[in-house]
Structure 1
Amino acid sequence: MTAPEVPAGRESVVRVSTLELFFDLVFVFTITQLTAVLAHDLTVGTTLQVLLLLLIIWWMYDGFAWMTNTAAPTDPVRRGLLLLGMAGFLLIALALPDAFGAAGWAFGVGYFLVNAIHSGLLLRVAPAAMRLLAPLNLVSASLVLVGGFVPDPWRAVLWIAAALVMTASPYLHRLTEWNISSAHFVERHGLIVIIALGESIVAIGVGAGGLELTATLIFVAFLGLVLSFLLWWVYFGGDDSAAEEALDRTPVARRGRAALHAFGWAHVPLLLGVIGLAAGVKKAIGHATDHISVAQALVLSGGVAVFLLGDALFRRILRIGTPWFRFFAGIGALLTVPLGLWLNAVAQLAALVVVVAALLLAERRAAQSR
């Protein structure tokens, strides 16, 4: 396949660098922290807070993915700035457990730092693309910063306003100024998903910490591992290059918008699903043979369902695969909630494994029959 044409003055980035992977490892610490926040308090209010924080954080992470897609971190200045960006994300992650409490200021400062580094670097290498976006980024970052210093409910109001500014800002220009290197873009977002799924395995170990190693505990841990593996298969298995090819097929004038929808917005439910799954397994692993609460059953099945629905949206946008299979599998995942309530966590986890495995088998058979 012929590589997409790169406009004059733009930089082509083909491979994800090890420095970017290092950056992603720091970012995923925020996912770990959000999982801990949700597992600590399985309520609707906390879930909404986690969703709001994820939206804010993901917007800025994805901004860095677009940045390195445009300007590879190949010189000492860019690498130094990327290190400062990592420091900002580390401060954000450390503040997350009490972001709506005493650590709100640290969350705001860390976010403003990350935003300033991102906008400053891109204004140097892609001024046309950032001419309108940089002021809007400054507005949203300022709302987050000020929100970190004021009490609730004003903190929540300002942070919701910041999320709304972020959501609207890319639609105020056509995104045609951005050159998307498909191979890099797909690989970068794939890496963040696989690292996040890896954190769901870590959650199993955290949930099992201090518990007696019994056959039941081993079996539940194995089910959690299999479920994470199947979700990896859902996202990656069999068609790793399909998303890249879909982006390459998209006309250059519409490629930026397609990248925003598929890798920006559609990846929010994917990551939220991983957070829900990890929190659900972490809470369930110590009570594997007991009836679990409605909140525990919902977050466990809901995590898988949201991941599947997010993946269906991702595929629908790029027109790859069979997204309707994943949509119905997401509904099937929600139908396993009564098993956790009436039986136990083991039964619910096993049923979720069956649902996702059945999805993959159905898709395989559908592909073979074409």
Structure 2
Amino acid sequence: MTIGGWRSLLQGREGELLLDLVYVFVLTRFSQRLIEDFTTDRQVVLPEVGQTVLLLLALWMVWVHAAWVTSRADPQQPVTQLLIVWTMFGSMIIAVTLPHAFGARGLLFAITYVAIQAGKPVILLIARRDVERHSPARHLWWATMSAVPWIAGAALFPQSPARGVLWTVAVAIDYAGLVSGWPVPRLGRTGAEDWRVAGQHLAERYQQLIVITIGETILLTGATFADDFTPDRVAPSVLSFATAVLMWRIYFHRAGAVFSAAVEVAPRPDKLGKSGYYTQLVIVTGILATGVGYALVIHEPEGHQDPLWLAVILGGPALFLAGRARLEYEVFARLSPSRVVGLVALAAVTPALLYRAPLLAAAAATVILAGVAAWDAQGERRHPEEAPSPPS
């Protein structure tokens, strides 16, 4: 890129780039928690993983909501920069609480989450920004409603499954508001035109977060390898790095690169923008799970045969391909055969790898992703250009 190109990229985006860097720390802490779920000697692995998934949904909500708000405000305005700093600091505190969010640090986690979600619309209302569209008031109404089960679950049930139940209700409220456009009596809901404005920016933010997430898996690979620099860890480390590169290549093959253009030309930008929440969340989850799976393999490449590890070693790439297939459909109104074949291949090899060394499962996943990427490259040579054609 030219110097002018970099200046264009950074113009008004410095705060969002800083927020993404904070999310490197957030995602690293999340990965560490998930690794503990699969390596700590517990009798309740699945409930522990369920708690981690719930926390991921909360973290995703914080990031998406911040991206939505900043997409409809001038990034050079002090109030917009204050919103980003508010979210950055709160996200850092959330990351600190992640390992013990369902334990001693639960109340701090809940208070911080509520402060982020409710604080952004309060700042906008005080600054009198976007009031004519009633967006801050709608967001505040929904944030206040979900704050009750968040705080109650943390304050009233410090060591009880009831905390998980109340927090699940809180997450459900947050996502119900997001999906429905935050409707409030007499104030209405977010309209399609608002989504056209925000959707293009959100698509670009998704692309940046995907790069950040893939980068986090590379950091996790390097950190795990550095803990014990032994010859038996070389092969899984190389496989992990290769898999990260392959996921980058597969994601940005056509649909991932032109998603923002698809939002711009879509007849229903609100529908496409909202579906991006689910699709990109599945992709991010798949990338994170894949990174965790390979970190487990690097940690114990030969000496551990836990069938549950396949849930991340093979399940992570499967989630990634499923989300990527959905993105292909959203942009081009079709399913890519390479993603479908990749999913079938991952499912087919799973039974044979149940009680094998984890390194074999990691190698199989890498080979399958390499096949998907090669298929994409062959198709790109046959059809070098393709315009977005999202389903109506």
Q: For the superposition of Structure 1 and Structure 2, which TM-score range results when normalised by the shorter chain?
A: 0.7 to 0.9
- The two structures have a TM-score, normalised by structure 2, of 0.83
Look up the match of 1:297: 310
Shift of 1:337: 3.3
The answer for unaligned runs of 5 or more in structure 1 is 1-12
Give, in whole Å, the separation in 2 of the partners of 1:103 and 1:71: 34
Give, in whole Å, the separation in 2 of the partners of 1:175 and 1:136: 17
Kindly indicate whether the alpha-carbon contact (under 8 Å) linking 2:326 and 2:335 is maintained by their aligned counterparts in 1. Answer: no
Give, in whole Å, the separation in 2 of the partners of 1:278 and 1:16: 31
Give, in whole Å, the separation in 2 of the partners of 1:18 and 1:177: 26
Number of residue pairs aligned between Structure 1 and Structure 2: 354
Residue number among 152, 169, 182 corresponding to 1:146 in the alignment:
152
Shift of 1:366: 4.2
Look up the match of 2:165: 157
Give, in whole Å, the separation in 2 of the partners of 1:239 and 1:269: 16
Listed as ranges, the matches of 1:278-317 within 5 Å are: 278-317=291-330
Residue number among 36, 39, 44 corresponding to 1:40 in the alignment:
36
Listed as ranges, the matches of 1:130-209 within 5 Å are: 130=135, 131-151=137-157, 152-169=160-177, 170-171=179-180, 172=183, 173=189, 175-176=191-192, 178=194, 179-181=196-198, 183-209=200-226
Kindly indicate whether the alpha-carbon contact (under 8 Å) linking 1:60 and 1:115 is maintained by their aligned counterparts in 2. Answer: yes
For the aligned residue pairs, the C-alpha RMSD in angstroms reads 2.4
Give, in whole Å, the separation in 2 of the partners of 1:129 and 1:328: 46
Deviation string, structure 1 residues 322-359 (Cα, Å, up to 9, x no partner): 44532441342243434544442222222111111111
Kindly indicate whether the alpha-carbon contact (under 8 Å) linking 2:255 and 2:331 is maintained by their aligned counterparts in 1. Answer: no
Look up the match of 1:333: 346
Residue number among 250, 258, 261 corresponding to 1:234 in the alignment:
250
Give, in whole Å, the separation in 2 of the partners of 1:278 and 1:180: 34
- Classify the secondary structure of the residue corresponding to 1:114: helix
4+ long deviations beyond 6 Å = 13-16
Listed as ranges, the matches of 1:237-252 within 5 Å are: 237-238=253-254, 241-251=257-267
Kindly indicate whether the alpha-carbon contact (under 8 Å) linking 1:340 and 1:348 is maintained by their aligned counterparts in 2. Answer: yes
Kindly indicate whether the alpha-carbon contact (under 8 Å) linking 2:149 and 2:170 is maintained by their aligned counterparts in 1. Answer: yes
Shift of 1:363: 3.2
Give, in whole Å, the separation in 2 of the partners of 1:321 and 1:74: 39
The answer for unaligned runs of 5 or more in structure 2 is 1-8, 39-44, 184-188, 384-392
Give, in whole Å, the separation in 1 of the partners of 2:145 and 2:64: 17
Q: 1:73 to 1:331 in 2, by over 3 A?
A: same
Listed as ranges, the matches of 1:16-95 within 5 Å are: 17-42=13-38, 43-95=45-97
Relative to structure 2, which stretch is displaced further, 237-246 or 272-281? Answer: 237-246
Larger RCO (CA under 8 A, 6+ residues apart): 1
- Classify the secondary structure of the residue corresponding to 2:34: helix
Query: Among the aligned pairs, what percent are the same residue?
Result: 25
Listed as ranges, the matches of 1:341-356 within 5 Å are: 341-356=354-369
Kindly indicate whether the alpha-carbon contact (under 8 Å) linking 1:15 and 1:183 is maintained by their aligned counterparts in 2. Answer: no
Residue number among 210, 213, 217 corresponding to 2:233 in the alignment:
217
Give, in whole Å, the separation in 1 of the partners of 2:378 and 2:17: 36
Q: 1:239 to 1:255 in 2, by over 3 A?
A: closer
Look up the equivalent residue of 2:18 and give its one-letter code. Answer: F
Give, in whole Å, the separation in 2 of the partners of 1:277 and 1:359: 16
- Classify the secondary structure of the residue corresponding to 1:290: coil
Give, in whole Å, the separation in 1 of the partners of 2:11 and 2:84: 17
Shift of 1:285: 0.6
Look up the match of 2:389: none
Relative to structure 2, which stretch is displaced further, 289-298 or 171-180? Answer: 171-180
